[in-house]
Structure 1
Amino acid sequence: MTKNKRPKNRAPAKSRKLSVLSFLYGVLILGLASIAGYAFYQQKSTPDEGRITATVSIADTVKGKHEGEVPPSRAAKEEPPVQIEEPTPKAEVTVEEPAALEKPEDPEVKDIAVAETKSEDKQTETPAPAPEKTAEPTETVRQEEPISEPEQIQKPTEEKPVEPQPVKEEPTAEEKPQPVEPEKAEVTETLASPPEEEKKAEPTVKEEAPKTPEVTPEPKIAQEPPKPVGPLPPVPDPSLAAKSDFGLLPVISPDGRKPWRVYARPFDDPLSRPRIAIIIGDMGMSKFATRSAIQDLPGEITLSFNPYGRDLQNWVAQARAAGHETLLQLPMEPFGYPDNDPGPQSLLSRLTDKENLNRLEWMLGRFTGYSGVTNQMGSRFTTSSEDISPIMDVIRDRGLLFVDGRTSGRSVAGYVAKQKSVPVAINNRFISNRADRASIDQRLAELERIARITGVAIGVGYPYPVTLERLAVWTKSLTRKGLVLAPVSAVVNSQEIQ
């Protein structure tokens, strides 16, 4: 019984092996037969027409990936079948194409169908297949490109990795923004070497940037102080002086020239900056103070000389040689007189007009070369229009200017001078009522504020050492503050007088 069971189990195994082998052999035979039939079919078909249509479809699908795109090769060649028939060695494709088509079996049938439809429609010559069919062969054709024809199909394959055509089109697209460059020669160079454009465009911008700041002399002019004025001409001018019992008195020349203009310090500010005038009084009373003011202070500061000083004409000559404009102080009656005594020749309200005018001539003849006069004390005398009016008539007739020291808030001297057409200026601040740095610096800052608001400010000080020291420092800072130091003759008739 055991011997009969073993052969029964072995017999079906052999039959299965034979069935599998026969199936495989049948598949191989069918495959070989299909290959032979496909080769025989291609031999019977026209070699030129079928291949030409295949190459045209490949070129079209490679260069024009979308339906609406027209490849440049076909745009230049309106009759592709006539020009593509020239290469004869296309017979090589018959041997190489099956090798590539063996791997993808399904796409082969689609390519053959497309080739047959295009060979039948030679007259149309346009890629008329449906958009779905054209999209599929483009993917298959990209795999077949290296195996296809060496002359026509290898060109698009090389263009994909290197893409020479888009590189040539890029400079043409870049030519549109390049019209900004004026020279045409540079554009031709940029087409040959586009990286050189960026190198050339950068230095042009860098060269233009520094050119703009070169044309900026205005801030330099704004910081430059006025040109220094040399020594003023010696005095007196013979045509501006008349002899009297008290010496030479100022007069208007026959040709109309006035002392306040001729003896003034020249001044010109093209920037029209706010002006500040500083007057230092009591010159000639102390040799040390007078010498220090003349030598240490800028020439734009006006020096006012006391008529009781000694050797006044010599001091005035030194002051003018240093560029200073000069004034004459007129002592006038203050409140509290005679306890506050301005001097033996001062103008007093208790005196007659004739007596005051006689004293005035004595003071005017003390020296020559001054452009105007200012009051010393006079807090009471300047508040009386009756007392000050005859004085203003003389000042006007002799061609002088008047500076109201404003020793009293009720002074009418400035108003009377304006009514009588006398060139007038009014003091805004006394700089050195207190001889300390903080007080002097505060008053100078107030003058700056007034000058910025009204355009003009006038300060009066005395030749204390601290005053001269603070003025020497302060005057150097005016230029960077946008202010200018001016002689008093440059600020007359520029203030509001009430």
Structure 2
Amino acid sequence: MRYLLSLLFCLLAGVAHAAPVGKAYMSIIIDDLGQSSERDSRTLALPGPVTMAIMPDTPHATDFARQAHKAGRTVILHMPMDPATGPYAWHPDIAIEELARRLDAALAKVPYAAGLNNHMGSRMTAQREPMAWLMGELQRRHLFFVDSRTSAATVAAAEAQAVGLAHVSRDVFLDDVRTPEAIAGQLRLGVEQARKQGSAVLIGHPYPQTLDVLAREIPRLRAQGIELVSLRQMIAERGNQAMPGHGHKGRYTHARQLANP
């Protein structure tokens, strides 16, 4: 009897310490940074490897990029694209030479940028030729790309995939509805997505409600089986493959392709 009890204890202990079947990863990006020192500082104080997406046409862009880099955070350029406006914004009727000049100027304003994601861009990211040029240029500069997916018609990630550029696509927007309850609900959706597909990329903004929810909930992610990781680790985890919500069998599709299979 003692032997049987001992054997049962060993079996139960083995089950208790067995490795999980699969890990669930999450990355969080905060857009629109560089506008407010107070909100920038609150974002930088969030726990974990939260990515700082800094707009070039903001008063604190350069200083905050340096501050975030010094703090060990990943900095990316939050590049304005049509329908966004301003001196750096990309529009479909602009020649590649001018797009290149604006990209150079924007990167100069956001030092230490490891990559780029689009600010707005619902029209611009649907333009295949400039998106193909951008992905080749980012490849040349050893920068990665994040498709914010502001439109179902985006071809940006597909063009990144075509040239083998390191990239990921956004899965969940946190704060389209700017209430703590809605933001917490979107974060729960991100957790569910991460568990279902192995990873989730979330994008939010430095709204007080968003920062309050994230400051409270990020330390609780691990207890929910979620590991918060840097964008570089997320890119490595996904291996440039499209998630089910972005395409089919790892390849990207968009609205027109889905309508005409």
Superposed displacement of residue 365, structure 1: 1.3
Report the equivalent of 1:332.
81
Among candidates 452, 456, 459, match of residue 202 of structure 2: 459
Residue 37 (structure 2) aligns with: 287
Contact persistence 1:456–1:494 (CA under 8 A): no
* Paired residue type of 1:351: I
- Establish whether residue 394 from structure 1 lines up as the match of residue 137 from structure 2: yes
3-state SS in 1 of match to 2:64 = helix
Q: What value does the CA root-mean-square deviation take over the aligned residues?
A: 2.6
Which residue does the alignment assign to 1:276?
Answer: 26
* Alpha-carbon distance, 1:433 to partner: 1.1
- Please name the residue that 2:66 is paired with: 317
- Alpha-carbon distance change, 395 to 439 in structure 1, aligned in 2, over 3 angstroms: same
CA distance in 2, matches of 1:304, 1:331: 11
Post-superposition offset of 1:414:
0.6
Q: 1:85-484 alignment to 2 at 5 Å? A: 212=10, 219=17, 273-295=23-45, 297-334=46-83, 341-484=84-227
Q: Provide the C-alpha distance between the structure 2 equivalents of 1:345 and 1:275, rounded to a whole number of angstroms.
A: 33
Query: Which portions of structure 1, spanning 4 or more consecutive aligned residues, are displaced by more than 6 angstroms?
Result: 213-218
For residue 350 of structure 1, report the CA deviation from its aligned partner: 1.1
**What TM-score, normalized by structure 2, do the two folds share?**
0.83
TM superposition shift of 1:345 = 1.8
| Alpha-carbon offset, residue 304 of structure 1 | 0.6
Q: In 2, Cα distance between the equivalents of 1:451 and 1:487?
A: 15
**Does the 8 Å contact 2:66/2:111 carry over to 1?**
no
TM-score by length of 1: 0.45
- Which protein is richer in helix relative to its size? 1
Q: Deviation of residue 314 (structure 1)?
A: 3.1
The alpha-carbon distance between structure 1 residues 220 and 342, as it changes in their structure 2 partners (threshold 3 A), is farther
Change (3 A) 1:388 1:473: same
Any idea what SS the aligned residue of 2:224 has? coil
Q: CA deviation at 1:321?
A: 3.7
Q: From the superposition, tell whether residues 216 and 469 of structure 1 become closer, same or farther in structure 2 (CA, over 3 Å).
A: farther
Identical positions, percent? 27
Distance 1:410 1:211 in 2: 56
Residues of 2 paired with 1:392 and 1:313: CA distance? 24
Contact 1:333-1:347 at 8 Å conserved across structures: yes
Q: Structure 1, residues 293-315: CA drift from partner, whole Å, max 9, x if none?
A: 111x1232111111112343432
Q: In the TM superposition, what whole-angstrom CA distance separates every residue of 1:270-305 from its partner, at most 9, and x where no partner exists?
A: x8511111100111111110000111x123211111
Question: Using CA pairs below 8 Å that are at least 6 residues apart, which structure has the higher relative contact order?
Answer: 2
Pairing 1:16-27 to 2, within 5 Å after superposition: none
Q: Name the CA shift for 1:217/1:299 in 2 (closer, same or farther; >3 Å).
A: farther
- For 1:283 and 1:372, locate their aligned partners in 2 and report how far apart those are by CA, in whole Å: 15
Higher Cα radius of gyration: 1
Deviation digits for residues 158-188 of structure 1 (CA, Å, limit 9, x no counterpart): xxxxxxxxxxxxxxxxxxxxxxxxxxxxxxx
Conserved in 2, the CA contact under 8 Å of 1:299 and 1:322?
Answer: no
Q: Structure 1, unaligned stretches of length 5 or more?
A: 1-200, 223-270, 335-340
Size of the aligned set, in residue pairs, is 241
